[in-house]
Structure 1
């Protein structure tokens, strides 16, 4: 099954979606404003968590 929206996004993909730099994405992780999951040493963001973050901005 292939979906148009990936389940997990890299910090670079999140940065591109939000129009910010990767360092800003990592700051959002550190502050707890944006949830992430750790897979090995890599951070990923669930699409649903990114959507919830954006909806909470308004």
Structure 2
């Protein structure tokens, strides 16, 4: 019996990174397009750029948590 290649083991061990599109973030936050792009431009909401801009789901969660903490203070 042969073991799977190392690359396969690493892919299975690493959690999948959920990446959201800007329209998905717009829908989740119920904000306008320009507001979301302002959040991205100022670094308040992290994103990955390449052929298209993507927002990691954890970055959106962190943004929401930070906003909730600011509102509670």
Which residue number in structure 2 is paired with residue 11 of structure 1?
Answer: 22
Specify the alignment match of 1:50 in structure 2.
60
* Distance of 2:59 and 2:35 partners within structure 1: 16
Q: TM-score, normalised by structure 2?
A: 0.67
The equivalent of 1:35 in structure 2 is 46
Q: Distance in 1 between matches of 2:32 and 2:24?
A: 10
User: Is structure 2 residue 20 aligned with structure 1 residue 20?
Assistant: no
Which runs of no fewer than 5 residues in structure 2 stay unpaired? Answer: 1-16, 69-73
Q: Which runs of 5+ in 1 are unaligned?
A: 1-5
- Where does structure 1 differ by over 3 angstroms across 4 or more consecutive aligned residues? none
> Which of 1 and 2 has greater Rg?
2
In proportion to residue count, which structure has more strand? 1
* Greater fraction helix: 2
CA RMSD between the two structures = 1.2
